[in-house]
Structure formats: C-alpha cells, structure tokens
Amino acid sequence: MIATTPQYAHKRGAAALAICIVAALFLSACSSTGGKPRDTGSRMGSGTADTPRVTIAMITHGAPGDTFFDLVRAGAEAAAAKDNFDLRYSADPQAPNQANLVQTAIDSDVAGIALTLPSAQAVSSAVKRAQTAGIPLTAFNAGFNEWKGLGIKQYFGQDETLSGQAAGDRLSRDGAKHVLCVIQQQGQVQLESRCAGVKQRFTGTFETLNVNGQDMPSVSSTIAAKLQQDPSIDAVLALGAPFALTAVEAIGSAGSDAKVYTFDTNAALVDAISSGSVQWAIDQQPFLQGYLAVDALWLELNNANVIGGGGATLTGPAFIDSSNVDQVAKYAKAGTR
C-alpha cells in the first residue's frame, strides 16, 4: 500500500469501492477468447467486452511530451482495449483549443467524451453542445470544483485543495521553514488549488513562483534566480514530476541547500526519490484516472451506471517516499505509475 495520512483514509475508501464495482460489473458483462486474457498491448492482459464497437474521445490539457499525461493515456488505452472502444486521444494546454477539440469530437459523432477541466468556463459551451447531442461525458484530473456545475455526472481525480493541505502538513512536520510553490501554468485551477491548500496548512513562510512550464530552460533559470535572491528558501515544491527534476538542477546551479518535494511522479522521479534528490511525491494515480474515465463511459453506455453517487471518485492523495518507493518502482518503469 502507498502511505496516506489517516485523515484522508475515508476519502480513499470511496475510490476503492467504486473500483470494486467497476471490476465486478466488467466480469459479469465481458468475455475473453478461449477463456484466457487477451494481451491488449498495454502490459495488462484482459478480456474484451462483447459489446458493439464504438468510438470515444479523450481530451486533455496535456502539453506535448508531458509524462503525466502519457500515464493517463496508457490507462485510457488499457480500458478502451478491454471495453471494445476505438479511443481518439487529443490534447492542448490552451483552453480555447481544448474547447475546439471537444467540438471536433461532437462533429465526429463519438459515443462518449472523457475530458479534463483546467478552465471549465472556456469549455462550458462545448460541453453543453455535447450534452444536447446526447453524448455522455466523464471528467477527470482537473475541475474538481467545477464538473458538477457543468452537469457532468462523474469525476475521477483528487481534491486538489485537500492534496495541498496534506502537502502543507507534511512539509511542516518535515521541518521546512520557507516553501516556494512553483506553478508551471498560471491560472489552471488544479495547480492554483494545490498551492492554496499548502498555504492553508503550512506553518512557515510560503510563497508562489509562476514559471513558463513549456520552456524548461526558463523554468530552471527562474527557480535558480529566485533561490539566489532569497537564500532562506529551504523547500521547493513542484506541481509535476518534470518540474521537480528541473528544480533539482536549478538548486545545483544556484548553490542552494533547498530540498525538493513534488506532486505527481514518473519513472525518472521515482529514481530521484530513491536517490534522495527528491524527498517525496504526492501520487494521484494518473493511469487509474485515465482508466476509470474511459471505463465509466462503457458502464454508462451499456448499463446506465454512474459511479460516485453524485460525488467525485478520489484517486489520491498518497505519499511516495523512501519508505515505499520500491513498491511502485517496477510499475513506474513499466509505464503504468
């Protein structure tokens, strides 16, 4: 098990229950060739649903090369292979372009849409058009406080404010005195909520730093300059694995003694935790988010099921640190954590 703080355990229980329901329903409604799992190409063998093959769309705000959304997509592809879906994945970090991608999916007459909501207002009109067209939607990863207002029935992800509070509590316990929370894309609600949650609970000095997340050399130089300007900063909190690894480089170039902490993981980040260059990461299980967002569409399309009872299905937060990193390392190397 990945370590999690007791006050969040009841929240994670809801996610576990929902996953069990998904598994039970799938086993009762799916078949496999020759009674053996079929290799879906996602490193996870499974049967294939004996339901009509349809096309669904997944639309995210992931930037090109974003390792977090590589994991989301891997989970979505695993579920699509099992559910006999053709999956069309598209992404754009700019909210107006994301809205255009939703409209393209509608025009293509897809059977369902799974999407992230980093800027819910920008995609609200497109979401309404999808609903008018009778296309079911699931939301995941971003938009924890907005999905219900858009009339979407299901959400899979973490409460970003709650996750930030967990990080703030732990940073305080770890003895940090001055935290710099690095936001890689200003205005995205899930990122702003993380830092806001940290600020609510951290007992020391707290400040944010906005960087251009699509320009890693700029991210490194901006962090380094801030650390040189203020040597009292002893903790850099990144909001994504690639930015945490860049922060490690920035600390070295600045000659700082600050420690690095982060949200989210990838294979390289797991190695960094093992080596001690990153202290811990908060895991929201992106593979699981992508998997459930797609699988929930299959359940709604084929059995009118809705997961969560009107609430979000939580996939985090959980801490990965030196005490448990070995438990997830092999999955991270396989591209599923």
Question: How do residues 120-161 score in pLDDT, each as one tens digit?
Answer: 999 999 999 999 999 999 999 999 999 999 999 999 999 999
Question: How do residues 57-104 score in pLDDT, each as one tens digit?
Answer: 999 999 888 889 999 999 999 999 999 999 999 999 999 999 999 999
Q: Do domains 6-31+43-158+285-320 and 160-283 have the same CATH topology?
A: yes
Domain extent listing, the chain: 6-31+43-158+285-320, 160-283
Q: Which CATH class is domain 160-283?
A: alpha beta
- Residues 282 and 8: beta-carbon distance below 8 Å: no
Residue with tokens 């438990």: 327
Q: How confident is the model at residue 337 (pLDDT cuts 50, 70, 90)?
A: confident
User: Which amino acid appears at position 13 of this protein?
Assistant: G
Task: Name the pTM for this structure.
Answer: 0.82
Question: What does the alpha-carbon distance between residue 84 and residue 113 come to, in Å, rounded to a whole number?
Answer: 15
Cα 150 to Cα 15, 23, 102, 122, 160: the distances in Å are 22, 28, 14, 11, 18
Question: How do residues 101-130 score in pLDDT, each as one tens digit?
Answer: 999 999 999 999 999 999 999 999 999 999
Cα 148 to Cα 137, 155, 226, 287: the distances in Å are 12, 9, 38, 23
Question: How do residues 299-330 score in pLDDT, each as one tens digit?
Answer: 999 999 999 999 999 999 999 999 999 999 98
What the block records as the tokens of 155 is 């959400």
Per-residue confidence (pLDDT) for residue 47, from 0 to 100: 75
pLDDT at 187 > cutoff 70: yes
Per-residue confidence (pLDDT) for residue 46, from 0 to 100: 57
Query: Of the CATH numbers 3.30.2350.10, 3.40.50.2300, 3.30.565.10, 3.40.50.720, which one belongs to the domain with range 6-31+43-158+285-320?
Result: 3.40.50.2300
Question: How do residues 274-284 score in pLDDT, each as one tens digit?
Answer: 999 999 999 99
